[in-house]
Amino acid sequence: MEHWHRAAPEWLSRLAAAGDVDQTGRYTLGWLGQEQATSLRDALIAPWCDDGGESARFREANRARVARAVPVAVGPKRVARITGIEQAIMLMFDEASPDRLWATLDPSLPPLLWIPLGNTRTQIDDALAPYLVEQPVPAARLPKRARGFMGTAEQLGAGIEEIENCVVLHEPWIDPPSWGSQYDDDPYPQVLPPMNVLVQTRVVHEYMRQAPGRLRSTSYRSLWSRSSLTFECHPFEAFVAAVRYAPSRHSAVIHELNTHHGTRLPVDLPVDLAASLLRCAFVEEHTLRAELASASFADPFLALALCAVAPGQTSTIDTLRDLATMSEMVGPVAQVADAYGYDSLLLELLAEVQDPRIRDALEQALAPSDAMDVPDGDDLDDGPGPGDLVVDALERALDEIGGRTDGGRAP
């Protein structure tokens, strides 16, 4: 067979000559010829040669890796549900790491998210095993969880529908079926029966139902690691990403990604989840609490972000209570507490607040009603009393703690 690379080491030639079938018999490796490899490499590098919105440092790090690498084989394949599109893992040889191969779960994934494989079939099989899960573990049994504040619709330039479209159209490492808050886990069978367009539309509509009394949400499973990804819509058009997953062995990959991209993603994330969290901020509870503790001024939007990331926690309500001791924060705290149904805190404020406007608003909020009124973004301009929530405050805070709110290009 042809060699793809003038500097191909002996171990790579031996690996290719050993055959195509892996030790488990679950997949084969399709070794590429020189012409195929060159064509694929040109396609891989093209997106990183233009300014797509990400930082110059991040773009150059990805471009440089592709420029010195070459595709050598096509590996395991997986078919996405609903669309029926086949996806394949590609094996790469990087001159800067002459002792191993790398794998990309999709050509559009940032090269910084390539998975290190090793240089023997056993090492390759072991490294890919977490991404070849056949039967998904129930979400409730996945051992790791993380929640991060993404930003507001105004900052992201997108609502939930645009986020959903982005996942389906630009994130092939995510399995397309989605479900709403009516379902705690993926309601779709792993193998979908044939469906015409009308039946498929009815099924999708049914599984996207939202449970009364719950926040609107859209959930997915990643195609390869079978991790869980959920986007939650919170009051004031704020968004949270919640993930559940089995921890990855490749923490160095995510650490390098954070270094070049300015993100603070958990370093044990599987790379398919990490790719879906690159488009916006992912600010976790501990970062928000540290920022609130060190801030030289009271920032109402940090309080909102904390409530979204850690809703209902006693420590979250305690933080709001502490903030309400500052006169300029009483109004914003009342708004947030009302939006999240923290009636006990509203009663405490009502017993202490003297401002008649805020008292009237608190009494209205505590009055019995048939349904909870979840405020949207327009309510930010109609809040009670001084210190109304200002979107710019959150944008400034997220910039200070390293969160991305520019959306960025599809990785």
Write the DSSP symbol of residue 174. B
Name the CA radius of gyration of the chain, rounded: 24
Q: Which pLDDT score is estimated for 73?
A: 93
Q: Which pLDDT score is estimated for 294?
A: 84
Contacts of 58 (CB under 8 A, 6+ apart): 110, 112, 260, 261, 262
298 has a pLDDT exceeding 90? no
Task: Compute how many other C-beta atoms are within 10 angstroms of the C-beta atom of residue 100.
Answer: 18
What whole-number distance in Å separates Cα of residue 398 and Cα of residue 302?
9
Residue with tokens 């406007």: 357
How confident is the prediction for the chain on average, in pLDDT? Answer: 85
Q: How confident is the model at residue 7 (pLDDT cuts 50, 70, 90)?
A: low
| CA pseudo-torsion sign 231, 233, 237, 238 | negative
What whole-number distance in Å separates Cα of residue 315 and Cα of residue 200?
44
Q: How confident is the model at residue 403 (pLDDT cuts 50, 70, 90)?
A: very low
3 has a pLDDT exceeding 90? no
Contact 270, 287 (CB under 8 A): no
384 has a pLDDT exceeding 80? no
Of 23-32, 56-65, 214-223, 376-385, the one with minimum mean pLDDT is 376-385
Select the more confidently predicted residue: 26 or 100. 100
What whole-number distance in Å separates Cα of residue 226 and Cα of residue 173?
10
Residue with tokens 């997220």: 398
Select the more confidently predicted residue: 327 or 153. 153
pTM listed for this prediction: 0.85
Q: Which pLDDT score is estimated for 19?
A: 62
- DSSP string across 193-262: PP--HHHHHHHHHHHT---TTS--EEEEEBTTT--EEEEEEEGGGEEEEEEEEPPPS-HHHHHHHHHHH-
Q: How confident is the model at residue 295 (pLDDT cuts 50, 70, 90)?
A: confident
Of 88-97, 177-186, 374-383, the one with minimum mean pLDDT is 374-383
272: left (phi over 0), alpha (psi -120 to 50) or beta: alpha
What whole-number distance in Å separates Cα of residue 223 and Cα of residue 132?
9
Residue with tokens 């150059």: 60
Q: How confident is the model at residue 411 (pLDDT cuts 50, 70, 90)?
A: very low
Structure tokens at 43: 């396609």
Structure tokens at 183: 């379902």
Of 168-172, 237-241, 267-271, 376-380, the one with minimum mean pLDDT is 376-380
Contact 47, 108 (CB under 8 A): yes
Q: Which pLDDT score is estimated for 33?
A: 85
State pLDDT tens for residues 133-191. 888 999 999 999 999 999 999 999 999 999 999 999 999 999 999 999 999 999 999 98
4 has a pLDDT exceeding 80? no
Q: Which pLDDT score is estimated for 369?
A: 66
Contacts of 30 (CB under 8 A, 6+ apart): 20, 73, 74, 75
Strand 115-118 to strand 30-31: parallel, antiparallel, or no bridges (unpaired)?
Answer: unpaired
Q: How confident is the model at residue 23 (pLDDT cuts 50, 70, 90)?
A: low
Write the DSSP symbol of residue 283. B
Q: How confident is the model at residue 410 (pLDDT cuts 50, 70, 90)?
A: very low
* For range 119-139, the mean pLDDT: 91
Of 74-83, 301-310, 381-390, the one with minimum mean pLDDT is 381-390
State pLDDT tens for residues 40-56. 888 888 888 876 666 78
State pLDDT tens for residues 348-358. 999 998 888 88
Select the more confidently predicted residue: 298 or 345. 345
Greatest mean pLDDT among 9-18, 265-274, 366-375: 265-274
236 has a pLDDT exceeding 60? yes
Q: Which pLDDT score is estimated for 377?
A: 44
